[in-house]
Structure 1
Amino acid sequence: MAGTYHATITYQELAEKIQESTGIRTRVILPNWIGATLDKVAYESHQSGDPQLTALVVHGDDGKVGKGYKRVLEVTGEPPVDDDRDLNWHAARARLECYRRFGATLPPDGGTPALSPKHQAAIDRRNVRSKRPLR
């Protein structure tokens, strides 16, 4: 995912890839183990000086990062962000760093941070509805 500009992966897709690549299967429900796994990724990314790969992981239903993404801010020593919008823009900037570091083909301007396509589509739909004239 980090090698494809504006790509993301859902928590479910990541869980399947982890289980497939390790050969370890679990019947434990996803929310009970994926957070701890992503915490380790956040810590390792920070320790190695890599961008936060956890920013690439979003919910399948709305395209937003999970509440656990706040852990990235703790790990990196950044101030906490409580606003959902700000948290998702933080992740968008981190994703752009991932794309740059891991060889995604970027536009000539170097690329721009972007919300996940699903999240942006929901915002666009809300904006269109709010601009419709009232009857």
Structure 2
Amino acid sequence: MREDRGAASMQLVLVTPALMLTALLIVQLALTWHARHIAEFAAQRGLAAARVEDGSAGDGDAQARHSLDALGSRVLNGPSVAVTRTSAHTVVRVNGTVMAVVPGLHLHASGTASGATEKITLPTGARP
């Protein structure tokens, strides 16, 4: 029995850091999932503003950044917004770095939304 003294303490010392790291990784993955949804939402809001007939790429950029500010920028750090608008198609991309819970682990989240650029046409296909 004397040789077993301290075995429980040794097991606790070995297992506790592994459990803590597992818990932190779970939190980090949840934050990454949440940051991806924030980026997708901001991209969709930017697309809605940029694709309308009288909209512009600047309108989409401003709306996406406003959505990011409203949702809180602590989860998605250093977000960048890129809007591409042509006469036929509009694309909004939002990228950023996820807040780090696990030291040294730098994950990125992004969201993209695309759709047809709106334009008013007559039933014959001509523009008014």
The structure number with the bigger radius of gyration is: 2
Higher strand proportion: 2
Normalised TM-score (structure 1) = 0.25
Higher helix proportion: 1
Q: Which fold has the larger relative contact order, with Cα–Cα distance below 8 Å and residues 6 or more apart in sequence?
A: 1
Normalised TM-score (structure 2) = 0.25
